[in-house]
């Protein structure tokens, strides 16, 4: 696990974001329910374009957060990047926001996201946050992962983050 900086944002290009999705969730009446999968095979980020699912867009999303003081962590096997996470530890007084967490496809299911989560939580606690907020993609893997880390449905959801990603599953984890 390494703490990274702005110069390391290019590592996002090495993450294979693709995923075969078998389970997808929605929130209905305050409860998680399964819904039909909207995209069975999520592709890798576009390596050349600048659209919303491009590597350029991911870098543009993370860059101002890190420049503004968010922590950036990378999990490596020697020089190979396995996964990356960005946590804005002072998103709001006492609330940290886990803004980005991706493990590259070949390295999933080996505890890499758990290690990144632990680093993000430690950074949040060091900054005196009492909870971590996550706007998670609604896939079974992402939601299953955050529930496994002790997250629960956010009630209420964060108004700004919810407006940006209304199809996401909004979760919070108390650090108390």
Ligand X SMILES: CC(C)(COP(=O)(O)OP(=O)(O)OC[C@H]1O[C@@H](n2cnc3c(N)ncnc32)[C@H](O)[C@@H]1OP(=O)(O)O)[C@@H](O)C(=O)NCCC(=O)NCCS
Q: Which is nearer to ligand X, 140 or 150 (CB)?
A: 140
Q: How far is the CB of 106 from ligand X (least distance, A)?
A: 11
Residues lying near ligand X in the complex (CB under 6 A) are found at 17, 19, 101-103, 108-114, 136-137, 139-142, 144-145, 148
Q: Residue 91: name the closest of 73, 113, 69 by CA.
A: 69
Q: How far is the CB of 137 from ligand X (least distance, A)?
A: 5
Least CB distance to ligand X at residue 175 (A): 18
Residue 66 vs 116, nearer CB to ligand X: 116
Residue 146 C-beta-side C-alpha neighbours within 13 Å: 29
Q: How far is the CB of 154 from ligand X (least distance, A)?
A: 13
Structure tokens at 25: 């969730």
Q: How far is the CB of 6 from ligand X (least distance, A)?
A: 21
CB 12 within 8 A of CB 63: no
Identify whether the C-beta of residue 25 lies closer than 8 Å to the C-beta of residue 33: yes
If the CB atoms of residues 129 and 136 are measured against ligand X, the closer one turns out to be 136
Q: Which residue's Cβ lies closest to ligand X?
A: 144
CB nearer to ligand X: pick between 129 and 134: 134
Residue with structure tokens 């890499």? Answer: 112
Q: Alpha helices of 6-132 — where are they, by DSSP H?
A: 55-67, 112-126
Closer of 36 and 93 to ligand X (Cβ): 36
On whether the CB atoms of residues 45 and 55 are closer than 8 A, the answer is yes
């Amino acid at each position: 696990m390494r703490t990274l900086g702005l110069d390391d944002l290019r590592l996002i290009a090495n993450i294979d974001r693709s995923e075969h999705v078998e389970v997808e969730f929605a929130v209905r009446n305050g409860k998680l329910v399964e819904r039909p999968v909207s995209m069975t095979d999520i592709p890798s980020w576009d390596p050349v374009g600048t659209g919303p699912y491009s590597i350029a867009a991911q870098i543009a999303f993370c860059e101002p957060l890190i420049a503004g003081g968010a922590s950036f962590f990378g999990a490596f096997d020697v020089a190979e990047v396995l996964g990356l996470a960005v946590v804005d530890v002072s998103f709001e007084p006492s609330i940290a926001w886990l803004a980005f967490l991706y493990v590259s496809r070949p390295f999933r299911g080996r505890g890499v996201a758990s290690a990144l989560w632990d680093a993000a939580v430690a950074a949040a606690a060091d900054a005196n946050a009492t909870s971590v907020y996550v706007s998670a993609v609604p896939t079974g893997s992402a939601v299953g992962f955050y529930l496994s880390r002790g997250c629960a449905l956010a009630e209420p959801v964060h108004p700004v983050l919810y407006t940006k990603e209304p199809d996401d599953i909004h979760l919070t984890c108390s650090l108390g």
